[in-house]
Amino acid sequence: MQRTPDLESRTVPEDHQDLRLWLRLLTCCNLIEGEIRSRLRTEFETTLPRFDLMAQLLRVPGGMKMSELSQHMMVTNGNITGITDQLEKEGLVERVKVASDRRSSLIRLTTKGKRTFKKMAKLHEEWIRSMFGGLSEQTRSALFEALGELKAMTRPKLSGRS
């Protein structure tokens, strides 16, 4: 079976190093994300956006408004509504009206949702550990520091854009 070339494999030695670095970083992210998506689908019949939404809610036991969820997940309110509707039908989240604002609801995990998410999160952590486990501690630390520098340099440049 022939593998589909990744983004980085399309580069040539004459391409500047920054482009090659960007495509390597993007390729690694895509490969890791693809593996996580596949495992969530296979093991739990769920999606990464559903997992991410539940992760956000676990951190805020009192619940979050849709707008807060969309900001934290960097997606539209419409996306959050669709995911929330599915999770609510499955009994994993509930909508609770805000007493001070009848138009608003807080979304929070149900007991079943917490239990389900904790099972997923435990395996998710094992998957991440196994994917990075082949790297030495020194390499992981250096990569973490380097990406931190990149994040710090890039964030102010991007924050002014819409």
Which value, to the nearest 10 degrees, does the dihedral of the CA atoms of residues 137, 139, 145, 149 take?
-170
Is 60 exceeded by the pLDDT of residue 115?
yes
Give backbone dihedrals phi and psi of 106, rounded to 5 degrees, phi first.
Answer: -100, 140
Find out whether 56 and 73 touch, Cβ atoms under 8 Å: yes
Chain segment 21-46, per-residue pLDDT in tens = 888 899 999 999 999 999 999 999 99
Chain segment 84-103, per-residue pLDDT in tens = 999 999 999 999 988 787 77
Strands (E), 25-84: none
Q: Which amino acid is at 81?
A: T
Second-level CATH architecture of 14-134:
Orthogonal Bundle (1.10)
